Amino acid sequence: MTATHFTPVDSAGGHSPMLGGGARSTLHDYIHFLDMIYHGGLYHGKRILSTAALTEMQADQVGKTI
């Protein structure tokens, strides 16, 4: 994913992506990402994410709302 980067909520450098920021990607990179998810965290036979990480990614991150 050479054309993908995270955009922070402000222009100051030197920090990790924060809430409100986001990833920017190309369709080509995003297809590779989806392919890796589809194959359980493997991309071209190489482990990128653990199955536990995929499970957490796909879990409800908000919980019940009132």
Q: What is the mean pLDDT of residues 28-53?
A: 96
In a domain, 48, yes or no: yes
Count of domains observed in the chain:
1
Query: Is residue 36 situated within a structural domain?
Result: yes
11 inside domain: no
Full residue range of the structural domain in which residue 47 is found: 22-58
- Residue 54 inside a domain? The answer is yes
Please list the residues that pair with 47 across neighbouring strands. Answer: 42
Please report whether residue 4 resides in a domain. no
Q: Is residue 2 assigned to a domain? A: no
C-alpha 34: how far from chain center: 10
Question: Is pLDDT larger for residue 15 or for residue 3?
Answer: 3
Number of other residues whose CB lies within 10 A of the CB of residue 49 = 17
Q: Is the pLDDT of residue 10 over 70?
A: no
pLDDT-derived band at 33 (thresholds 50, 70, 90) equals very high
